A = this chain, B = another copy of it.
Amino acid sequence: MNAIAVERGETEPSLLDVPEPTPDEGEALLRTLRVGIDGTDFEVLDGNHGGFPAGDEYQILGHEAVCAVADPNGTDLTEGELVVPTVRRPAEGSREFFDRGEPDMAPPGTYRERGIEGAHGFMAEFVTTPAEFLVPIPDAFAETGVLIEPMSNTVKALELAFASRSLFEWEPERALVLGNGPLGLLTLAMLQPTVERSYCLGRRDRPDPTIDIIEEFGATYVDSRTTPVSDIADIHEPMDLVYEATGHAKHAYDTIDVLAPNGVGVLLGIPTEWTFDIDGGCLHRELVLGNKALLGSVNSNIRHFETAKESLESLPDWVLERIITDVYSPTELEAAFDDSPDRIKRVIDFT
């Protein structure tokens, strides 16, 4: 069958002919419909994540998928039913966090991640997955369901943010999203019912489709080339909530300055080493005197996928149409993985 993978030693994806997988007991055989491409896929191509699946000379990419059940194989699933698979799987002998439904909280080393680290992803005509890691979705989400996985990460991050502020009265009015990629834009969309004013940071010139979407929400586009993050509180206003999805490490520390008293910044980017100066005294003081919080958040669990499914249902059609900008067949690999700025969410369609 066709699969999009990175071969050992390569940094570009290839279309490979690989054996069709056979489901083990408890696993369903799935026919892949669509798989989204995101920043993590490029990190995998660059070798910034963990190892390849044991014994294999290639890693199949893709962790944002919508599939149809091809063979329930004795599970409770129904042939033809649509599902979204979660990403993490237990490493050998490490089921503790999975058994309690919290694979997203499992410590590094105790899990593998489909399409990212130590396990093949979903960019293949067929995949197998234990039924416990599948979230059934309505047929209406066949085309847009690829957004459920990224949205589930935001659901979890925002849940953590709200929990950290749950002991006092806290109703965020102003939110800043750092990053205007697909995850940033989806988060901006998800925040609209909650906050009164929102801002989204990018580094793009107009005309630009992401700026158009930001402004269609009534949100304010902030160009990081002219407005450094540390100046946003003065130039615009302090923020109750900051969501970081850039992986630009300085943003994590600048977030402390942008936050209003009692605010929370939630970080999702995964940068590599970078040493720089900070006024660590002032930032520490700000955190304390302002009762501020900085939270890291990674991955998500089934409950977050379920909430993301509801959240996807409530997004306006125009958002979905304008975020999923490009759909490619597996043979159009080069175009699909070409990172030009006029495209937002790119999707591989296997049907």
Q: Which residues of A contact B (CB under 8 A)?
A: 100, 102, 104-108, 159-160, 163-164, 166-169, 249-250, 252-253, 260-262, 267-298
B290 touching A281, Cβ below 8 Å: no
B271 touching A285, Cβ below 8 Å: yes
A275 and B274 in contact (CB under 8 A), knowing A163-B163, A163-B164, A291-B298?
A: no
A169 touching B281, Cβ below 8 Å: no
Known: A100-B169, A290-B298. 7 other contacts (CB 8 A): A163-B163, A164-B295, A249-B280, A273-B279, A274-B279, A286-B296, A293-B296
Inter-chain contacts of A164 with B (CB < 8 A): 160, 163-164, 293, 295
Residue of B nearest to A162 (CB): B167
Residue of B nearest to A287 (CB): B296
Q: Chain B nearest CB: distance from A237 CB in Å?
A: 13
- A297 to B288, alpha carbons, bound, how many Å? 5
Inter-chain contacts of A268 with B (CB < 8 A): 288
Q: Chain B nearest CB: distance from A278 CB in Å?
A: 6
A281 touching B288, Cβ below 8 Å: no
Q: Chain B nearest CB: distance from A87 CB in Å?
A: 14
Residue of B nearest to A253 (CB): B280
Residue of B nearest to A260 (CB): B107
- A271 to B287, alpha carbons, bound, how many Å? 11
Inter-chain contacts of A275 with B (CB < 8 A): 277-281
Inter-chain contacts of A292 with B (CB < 8 A): 295-296
A-B contact pairs, 27 of them (CB 8 A): A102-B168, A105-B169, A105-B261, A105-B262, A106-B261, A108-B261, A160-B293, A164-B295, A249-B280, A252-B284, A267-B287, A267-B288, A269-B284, A271-B285, A272-B281, A273-B279, A274-B282, A275-B278, A275-B280, A276-B280, A288-B298, A289-B296, A289-B298, A292-B295, A293-B293, A293-B295, A293-B296
